[in-house]
A and B are shown apart, each in its own frame.
Chain A
Amino acid sequence: MTTEELKTLVVNKSVDARGTACPGPLLAAKKAIAELASGEIMEILSADEGTKKDIPKWANKKGHEYLGTVEESGFFKIFMKKK
């Protein structure tokens, strides 16, 4: 998805993991996605550089769909769709 598409995407759940370093955001994402239904969309907010690679890799491995990442000021949003 393009950045513009991601910015207007309606998410079912938003996880703010900006207060933690790796592996905090990953586990927060793992816990949160369990509460979603198949096809629903989640965004994870993180300021941890490693997480930018970590969560897409994890999402794809678990069969979810990684939709993209949007840079904000001082943090970023990672979007994924539950399988």
Chain B
Amino acid sequence: MEENKKMCLALFSGSLDKLTAAGVILSGAAADDMDVDIYVLLQAARAFKKEIATNRDELKLAENSHLRKEFLSSLDKLNVKEWHEFFKEAKEVTNVKIHICGLAGKIWGGEKLEDFIDLADDIVGISEYITAAEEADIHLFI
């Protein structure tokens, strides 16, 4: 059988809009049976913390922050999933691994894997990311 294409995603942003965009891209990769490695870097690591991930009020918008209310009500009206639900669904459909950067975790008080949502697979160092980026067919930084 042909080997799956690989996507490597460096997820830096912890903003609701960029996390949602990452989730939509992830869905496309999942539909395409790609193997995806996500490296959760600095700001994103906070969003992946258990007490933060499901709390919209904790997450800002990266752009058009003055339109937050309209943006969120549009997402709801269009029945768009919460950002972490995109990640969950993609994991159910294809091979997605979510790696938390060790430094980023520490910055936000997350020392152990249990401090992050259950979707997170492990806590890693930066060389893992470099290797995955080298081997990937598609490499994104969000």
Query: Which residues of A are in contact with B by a Cβ distance under 8 Å?
Result: 19-24, 26-27, 29-31, 58, 61-62
Query: Cα distance A62–B33 when bound, in Å?
Result: 9
B93 close to A (CB within 8 Å): yes
Checking B31, B78, B79, B80 against A26 with a beta-carbon cut-off of 8 angstroms, the contacting residue is B31
Of residues 13 through 31 on chain B, the ones whose CB sits less than 8 Å from some CB of chain A are: 24, 27-28, 30-31
Give the Cβ gap from B80 to chain A, nearest Cβ, in Å. 6
Cross-chain contact B24 with A23 (CB below 8 angstroms) = yes
The 8 Å CB contact of B31, one of A19, A20, A21, A23, is: A23
Inter-chain CA distance A26–B78, complex, in Å, is 15
Verify if B32 is at the interface (C-beta below 8 Å from A).
yes
Residues of B in contact, count (CB < 8 Å):
13
Interface Cβ pair total, 8 Å cutoff: 30
B78 and A21 form a contact (CB under 8 A): yes
- Name the B residues within 8 Å of A22 (CB-CB): 24
A31 touching B24, Cβ below 8 Å:
no
A24 to B80, CA, bound (A): 8
